[in-house]
Amino acid sequence: MKPLNSTKGAHTRAPRALPANPARFRLLMSLYPPLFFAGVRVDEVAEDWTAIEVSHRVRPWNRNVNRSAFGGTLFAMTDPFYAVMAAGQLGSGYRIWNTVGSIEFLAPGIGTVSATMKLGADQVDMIRDEIRSRGHSVTTHATEIRAADGNLVARASQNLYVRPTRS
């Protein structure tokens, strides 16, 4: 049996491929149990993987004792999506993951809250350039989570680490 703290071989497996079709990915992610049961819905995925829109409707069965969105749910709205957009644009041959994540809560999330994450082609070009020069890239990406009336509910931030896969 492998020890729990062993990392041997942890970075040798190839990452799972994304569905080639962003619309199919949108559907699969909306049904993905950690997001589905939290009430997070993937509303839109850009055909070129440069933007993803998500929403969360606070309901009696998914709210906290203050009748607002759980903080973890607000963070889950943003957690996987920069890595997904990077993978969709970079293609195979890269290991991509979040190394740091944080969230600042500014107001209660009541009703429907939403977020739009964007990772432009110019940013992905900068990631490629940094990989060529340093062997890896670490970039920081921020997302605003807003209520239906436009008020700012939270700001989430993530550091995205990208490197070529090892042969």
- Tens digits of per-residue pLDDT, 5-53? 333 333 434 345 666 788 888 988 888 898 998 999 999 999 999 999 9
Find tokens 């429907």 and name the residue.
Answer: 112
pLDDT value of position 160? 97
Q: What percent of the chain has pLDDT over 70?
A: 87
Q: How far is CA 39 from CA 29, 55, 69, 107, in A?
A: 12, 8, 10, 19
Token pair of 157 as six digits: 């931030």
Whether the model pTM is above 0.95: no
* CA–CA dist 22, 150 (Å, integer): 27
Pairing relationship of beta strands 112-118 and 137-147 according to DSSP bridges: antiparallel
